[in-house]
C-alpha cells in the first residue's frame, strides 16, 4: 500500500456526518458514534491499514488525515447531542407541565374539590370578627423578638424564675441583643403601647393575633408552634370587673350562650392581680371527659390587670391609667368550638380531617 485514499476518507466522513444528522434521539446518536469509532468501523479499519504504508512520511500524512476525519465526526456528534438534549428536555417539560387554567372533568360523577382556608385560619378570622364587634381594633407584630420585648418589658428581667414557664427557642444569645422566637403574643402589647405613647393615642382597645413558638412536645392540648390572640384595654378607671365581663361576653358570643367562663387565681409577671380563665368544656358540655381531665372545664388562657411595671417600661403613668390584658390559644378555641379531642389533628394534614371544615 503506497498511501491513503483521501477520496474514500472524505466519502466516509460525509456518510457518517449525514447519519449523525439523521438520528432523532440520543440513543440513536450513541449507536452511530460507537459504530463510527469502533475498531472494525470505517475509521478504525483505515487506522489499522496505516501499517501497510511503507513510506514513513506518507504514513504520517495519512494518520493526520484520519485523525482530522475523526475530529470532524466527533464535532458533528457533539453538536447533534446538544440539539437532541435540548429537544428531549423541552419534551419532558411539556409532558410535566400542569395547565392550571382549566380543570377538565372526564367523569361528571367525580366532584371538583376546592381548597379552603385551614381551620386555624378560619378560627382566627372568626375571633377577630368577634372582637371587632366588641369595639376592639386588630393589629399584628413580629414573630422574631428581642429579649426586651418578649421578657424584660413584661416584667420578666434576666434571672426571673417565671422565665422557666417558657421553653424558649433562642436564635442568638448575647451581644448586641438576645433574639428569639416569641413565646407569646404579649410582646405586641409593648409595641402597641410604645406607639400609642409616641402618638399620644391613649386609650387603647386592641386585639392582636399571631403565631408563637415553644419547645413543647405535642399532645392532646399542646403544640410547639401554636397561635394566640391577645386582648389589651388601657383607659381611665378600668377594673377587674371589666375584664371578667369582657371574657364572659366573648365566651358566649363565640362558643354559644350555653358556654360560660370562670376565673381562677393565677400568677403572671406582667399582670397583677392575675387569673386563668376556663370555659365550659364544649365536648362534654361540663359533664367531664378525657379532654377536660374529667373536670367539665378547660383552660383557655390567662388574664389580669396590667402590672404597673409594664406601664413604667413604656412610659405610661400607672396612677392615671389602668387596664387589663388577656390571651388565649386560637388552636384551643378551634378545638373547643368544633369538639376536636386531640389538637395534633390540626397539624397532621389529614385531608379526611381538613375537609370537614
pLDDT band at 341 (very low <50, low <70, confident <90, very high): confident
14 and 134 in a single domain? The answer is no
Q: Is 109 inside any structural domain?
A: no
Place of cell 498511501: 3
Number of domains in the chain: 2
| Separation of alpha carbons 100 and 82, rounded Å | 31
192 and 286 in a single domain? The answer is yes
Q: Which of 37-41, 186-190, 230-234 has the lowest mean pLDDT?
A: 37-41
Whole domain around residue 12: which residue ranges?
A: 6-96
Q: Looking at 64, 96, 128, which one is the last position of a domain?
A: 96
- CATH number of the domain to which 286 belongs: 3.30.930.10
Q: Is 287 inside any structural domain?
A: yes
Q: Give me the pLDDT at residue 281, please.
A: 86
Q: Looking at 96, 128, 144, which one is the last position of a domain?
A: 96
**For the chain, what percent of residues have pLDDT higher than 70?**
89
| Residue pair 26/84 in contact by the 8 Å Cβ criterion | yes
50 and 152 in a single domain? The answer is no
161 and 55 in a single domain? The answer is no
Q: What is the pLDDT of residues 139-169, one digit of tens each?
A: 999 999 999 999 999 998 888 877 777 788 8
Q: Give me the pLDDT at residue 345, please.
A: 84
The candidate with the shortest Cα–Cα distance to 36, out of 60, 14, 64, is 14
71 and 130 in a single domain? The answer is no
Q: Cα–chain-centroid distance for residue 312?
A: 37
Q: Which of 3-12, 164-173, 197-206, 332-341 has the lowest mean pLDDT?
A: 3-12
Q: Is 101 inside any structural domain?
A: no
129 and 220 in a single domain? The answer is yes
pTM given for the model: 0.65
Q: Is 320 inside any structural domain?
A: yes
| Separation of alpha carbons 147 and 73, rounded Å | 70
Q: Give me the pLDDT at residue 1, please.
A: 47
Q: Is 110 inside any structural domain?
A: no
85 and 232 in a single domain? The answer is no
126 and 70 in a single domain? The answer is no
Extract the C-alpha cell encoding 153.
Answer: 418589658
Amino acid at each position: 500500500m503506497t498511501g491513503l485514499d483521501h477520496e474514500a476518507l472524505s466519502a466516509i466522513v460525509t456518510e457518517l456526518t449525514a447519519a449523525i444528522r439523521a438520528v432523532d434521539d440520543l440513543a440513536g446518536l450513541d449507536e452511530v458514534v460507537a459504530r463510527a469509532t469502533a475498531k472494525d468501523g470505517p475509521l478504525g479499519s483505515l487506522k489499522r491499514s496505516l501499517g501497510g504504508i511503507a513510506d514513513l512520511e506518507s504514513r504520517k500524512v495519512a494518520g493526520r488525515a484520519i485523525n482530522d476525519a475523526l475530529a470532524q465526526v466527533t464535532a458533528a456528534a457533539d453538536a447533534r447531542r446538544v440539539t437532541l438534549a435540548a429537544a428531549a428536555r423541552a419534551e419532558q417539560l411539556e409532558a410535566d407541565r400542569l395547565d392550571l387554567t382549566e380543570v377538565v372533568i372526564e367523569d361528571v360523577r367525580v366532584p371538583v374539590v376546592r381548597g379552603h382556608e385551614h381551620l386555624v385560619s378560619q378560627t382566627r378570622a372568626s375571633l377577630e370578627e368577634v372582637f371587632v364587634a366588641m369595639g376592639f381594633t386588630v393589629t399584628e407584630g413580629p414573630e422574631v423578638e428581642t429579649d426586651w420585648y418578649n421578657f424584660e418589658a413584661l416584667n420578666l428581667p434576666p434571672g426571673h424564675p417565671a422565665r422557666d414557664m417558657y421553653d424558649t427557642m433562642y436564635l442568638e444569645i448575647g451581644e448586641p441583643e438576645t433574639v428569639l422566637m416569641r413565646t407569646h403574643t404579649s410582646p405586641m402589647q409593648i409595641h402597641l403601647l410604645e406607639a400609642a405613647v409616641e402618638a399620644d393615642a391613649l386609650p387603647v382597645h386592641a386585639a392582636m393575633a399571631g403565631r408563637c413558638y415553644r419547645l413543647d412536645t405535642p399532645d392532646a392540648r399542646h403544640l410547639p408552634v401554636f397561635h394566640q390572640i391577645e386582648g389589651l384595654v388601657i383607659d381611665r378607671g378600668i377594673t377587674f370587673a371589666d375584664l371578667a365581663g369582657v371574657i364572659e361576653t366573648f365566651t358566649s358570643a363565640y362558643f354559644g350562650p350555653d358556654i360560660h367562663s370562670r376565673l381562677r387565681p393565677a400568677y403572671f409577671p406582667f399582670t397583677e392581680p392575675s387569673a386563668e380563665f376556663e370555659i365550659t368544656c364544649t365536648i362534654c358540655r361540663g359533664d367531664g371527659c378525657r379532654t377536660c381531665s374529667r373536670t367539665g372545664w378547660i383552660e383557655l388562657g390567662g388574664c389580669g390587670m396590667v402590672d404597673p411595671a409594664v406601664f413604667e417600661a413604656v412610659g405610661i403613668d400607672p396612677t392615671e391609667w389602668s387596664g387589663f390584658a388577656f390571651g388565649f390559644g386560637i388552636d384551643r378555641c378551634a378545638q373547643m368550638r368544633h369538639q376536636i379531642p386531640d389538637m395534633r389533628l390540626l397539624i397532621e394534614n389529614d385531608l379526611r380531617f381538613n375537609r370537614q371544615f
